[in-house]
Amino acid sequence: MYKTMEQIEREYDGNWVFMVNCDKSRGSLVGGEVVLHDPIKANVLLAMEAYDHYPNLTSFRYVGKIPEGIVYVL
């Protein structure tokens, strides 16, 4: 089911999410269908293998405030 980023941020706060059929506007992600989510990144990464050749725009990201002590690179 398609959801906006606002809906995704509310529903999956603190989770890593993998989305398919994503929409972008002016370079920003505006929504998509969440097919995988888990607070543990490795769990989502392993399950993403089933979508290796998915033909549409996909996105993998953390939703929520980045926990203290975590370093990330843009």
In a domain, 33, yes or no: yes
Q: Which domain holds residue 33?
A: 2-63
d(CA 49, CA 1): 20
In a domain, 26, yes or no: yes
Domain count, the chain: 1
In a domain, 73, yes or no: no
Bridge partner residues of 33 (DSSP): 2, 20
Q: How confident is the model at residue 74 (pLDDT cuts 50, 70, 90)?
A: low
3-state secondary structure the chain: CEEEHHHHHHHCCCEEEEEEEEEEECCEEEEEEEEEEECCHHHHHHHHHHHCCCCCCCEEEEECCCCCCCCCCC
pLDDT tens across 6-62, in order?
999 999 999 999 999 999 999 899 999 999 999 999 999 999 999 988 888 999 999
In a domain, 49, yes or no: yes
In a domain, 72, yes or no: no
In a domain, 51, yes or no: yes
- The answer to whether the pTM exceeds 0.75 is yes
In a domain, 68, yes or no: no
In a domain, 69, yes or no: no
